[in-house]
A and B are shown apart, each in its own frame.
Chain A
Amino acid sequence: KNEVEQSPQNLTAQEGEFITINCSYSVGISALHWLQQHPGGGIVSLFMLSSGKKKHGRLIATINIQEKHSSLHITASHPRDSAVYICAVLNYGGSQGNLIFGKGTKLSVKP
């Protein structure tokens, strides 16, 4: 079983829909990242959080440390949001640079 599991693997939405991507992890962590990867391959960091909730524009990330679960929400989705969204955790007590990544959720937003 992977240490970081994301769901769904693939998601198709209509423009304007509210989107939720989930991430569950099985290790103790010091931080969790939500990353965005476009088809060209480059990765952009969206959020880093260790507790609570963060908001940036139409994006909201939440984390529940006790339940070892995080969600990424996109409000009023737009075709330009189409990308792969990756959850990655920094393993608490592990090496400082060793992020553990989920396999990603491929989001496609149709106009």
Chain B
Amino acid sequence: DTGVSQNPRHKITKRGQNVTFRCDPISEHNRLYWYRQTLGQGPEFLTYFQNEAQLEKSRLLSDRFSAERPKGSFSTLEIQRTEQGDSAMYLCASSPTGGSTEAFFGQGTRLTVV
């Protein structure tokens, strides 16, 4: 499968715990994006990588959130000290460079904080 892969698909955690999600983009896609989608809303941009460089972070990304893409391939999104308001679908997308702006999305990780 050469699509964008996200793990886990579902995560239930207790408030205050740390969670980490992983995204494997389509190989050779230099750009990787994280979005968050709450119930009944469209996705909202969180952060964006060009290779291993994190080029932009949304104000939605509080200091409890950190994202990395250490080798310019897969990315991780960590949420520390989770809160109930963090419950959402976390979506990852990737796109190639070279002027193309088409993004390919993963299946998402649904986080439930109890």
The size bracket of the interface on B is: 20 to 34
Q: What's the Cα separation between A37 and B101 when bound, in Å? A: 19
Q: Select B110's contact among A4, A41, A45, A100, beta carbons within 8 Å.
A: A41
CA distance A88 to B45 in the complex (A): 11
Interface residues of B, dominant DSSP = strand
CB <8 Å contact, B107 and A41: yes
* B48 on interface, CB distance cutoff 8 Å: yes
Q: Footprint of B on A, CB under 8 Å?
A: 4, 30-31, 33, 35, 40-45, 48, 86, 88, 90, 95-104
Kindly report which residue of chain B lies nearest to residue A9, judged by CB atoms. Answer: B40
Given A101-B42, A101-B43: A45 and B104 interface contact (C-beta under 8 Å) = yes
Nearest CB in chain B to that of A41: its residue: B108
- Is the Cβ of A97 less than 8 Å from the Cβ of B45? yes
* Given A97-B33, A98-B45; A33-B103 close (CB under 8 Å): yes
